[in-house]
Amino acid sequence: MRGSDVHQTRRESSEASNAVYLGCQRKTTQMTANPLPISSVLESDTSLFTQAATHAKGPEGALPITAEMLLTQPSGNLFGLTQNAGMGWEPSRLLDPEYLILSTHGGLRAQDGTPIALGFHSGH
């Protein structure tokens, strides 16, 4: 392959990488650089930090933890109880039967914000 052939092949390859296929028509788009200013990525409006809620009333009730649970159950089960209560599940219902709903949602909530199904913590 001659040098001019290599240059032609590279140019065609570059043009192909900028191609957008719509139906049976091939259109090429011109790639232009519109860089964002770094400050728009790294800097934040400081009012966002003062408006964030950092404290809220916790759920009413107590965790249904027994001495037997502390001795026999994995710590992850006990952690799950605290996490579920913290996400708004009624503490009196924490030991209800569990169901796994496989979904990409992080849980489901009713119109008023009451949890219907909590997100599943898969560990780290």
pLDDT in tens, 57-106: 777 888 999 999 999 999 988 998 988 888 888 888 999 998 887 777 77
pLDDT in tens, 74-84: 998 899 898 88
pLDDT reading at 28 higher than 90? no
Do 20 and 27 touch, CB atoms closer than 8 A? yes
Give the chain's end-to-end CA distance (angstroms, integer): 52
pLDDT of residue 71: 96
